[in-house]
Amino acid sequence: MGWDAKKRLTSTVVHLFLILGSICMITPFAWMILTAFKTKSEAISVNPFYIFPASGWHFENFVEVWNSYNFVVLYKNTLIMIALRVLCACLTATLAGYAFGRLRFPFKNFFFAIILVQMMVPGQIYIIPQYLIVSRLHMMNTQFALLLPGAVTAFGTYLCKQGYQTLPASLEEAAELDGCNIGQRFLLIMLPLTRSSLVSLGIFTALFAYKDLMWPMIVCPQTNATTLTAALSRLQGQFVSNYPQIMAGAVMAVVPMLIIYLIFQKQFVEGIATTGGKL
């Protein structure tokens, strides 16, 4: 067998293998979407030929779930929560990251230890007291409650610090000679250069907020105050064994993020590669 033929054979085998895997990955999504368009009796029919909705595509499931769970409110809550968390986390982290990465100030090592220790302590230890903070402030079922645990981020600060540290010192020295103060140097020169670590942090924060189930379940038990993810656990309880409607709810919960991902997939993948995707 010639070298070229051997190479082609390897490539074909690799592709076959990867395609097989891809099918395994896509099947649950396809099954979710297909089921969402079926009637209940079609969904539980044992006939394997009913892979596609037999009596046409039924949009009623979506309408019904949409109406009984105010999805407009759920989308709005989720979107605001994600926006607030990304904004707060990126803002506080980039400020602190710049200070830790580039400035000299008293007790710097002590303050940085505060960052590092928070990253090492497992997250569940914070949940009960954080819940008590929310409930003592009478802030249950509010956007404030959803934002709270993500308002600042030790991990993000660490990530931003790494970004600032790799930039050459000469950049700032030149700006200083030109008469820029620290604020100007940070805003005009350094901040734009760490854009990629900020994008990674933003994506990481957004995904984490979107996927989290326990926190919204605890602090926002009311259906009109909660997030998409937490509403799903309710929905499953209400439409017991009405799988087309449950799947319609799942489709509505995952599709927006899937679309955003397909558009910005390069940034998503880079974001995971740099943050380690510690979700």
Token representation of residue 16: 């076959």
**Residue whose structure tokens are 């820029």:** 180
Measured CA distances, 83 to 140, 147, 203, 272 (Å): 19, 9, 11, 19
Query: Binder to other proteins among 2, 56, 129, 179 (CB under 8 A)?
Result: 129
User: Whole-angstrom Cα distance, residue 91 to residue 86?
Assistant: 8
Provide, for the chain, the percentages of residues in helix, strand and coil under a 3-state DSSP scheme, each rounded to the nearest 5.
75, 0, 25
Query: Binder to other proteins among 1, 46, 72, 177 (CB under 8 A)?
Result: 46
User: Whole-angstrom Cα distance, residue 94 to residue 96?
Assistant: 6
Shortest Cβ distance from residue 114 to other proteins (Å)?
6
**Site for other proteins contains 169 (CB under 8 A):** no
**Site for other proteins contains 174 (CB under 8 A):** no
**Site for other proteins contains 29 (CB under 8 A):** yes
Radius of gyration of the chain (CA): 24
Token representation of residue 51: 């892979």
Measured CA distances, 86 to 9, 34, 152, 201, 263 (Å): 47, 34, 10, 8, 19
Closer residue to other proteins, CB minimum distance, 146 or 232? 232
**Site for other proteins contains 134 (CB under 8 A):** no
Closer residue to other proteins, CB minimum distance, 70 or 172? 172
Residues 56-85 that bind other proteins (CB under 8 A): none
DSSP state at residue 223:
T
**Site for other proteins contains 245 (CB under 8 A):** no
Shortest Cβ distance from residue 94 to other proteins (Å)?
9
Shortest Cβ distance from residue 37 to other proteins (Å)?
14
Binding piece for other proteins, criterion CB under 8 A, among 53-61, 67-75, 143-151, 187-195? 143-151
Residues 9-28 that bind other proteins (CB under 8 A): 11, 14-15, 17-18, 21-22, 24-28
Q: Do 138 and 157 touch, CB atoms closer than 8 A?
A: no
**Residue whose structure tokens are 């904004």:** 87
User: Whole-angstrom Cα distance, residue 89 to residue 157?
Assistant: 9
Closer residue to other proteins, CB minimum distance, 70 or 277? 277
Query: Binder to other proteins among 5, 20, 72, 125 (CB under 8 A)?
Result: 125
Query: Binder to other proteins among 152, 171, 180, 193 (CB under 8 A)?
Result: 152
Residues 214-243 that bind other proteins (CB under 8 A): 214, 218, 228-230, 232-233, 236, 243
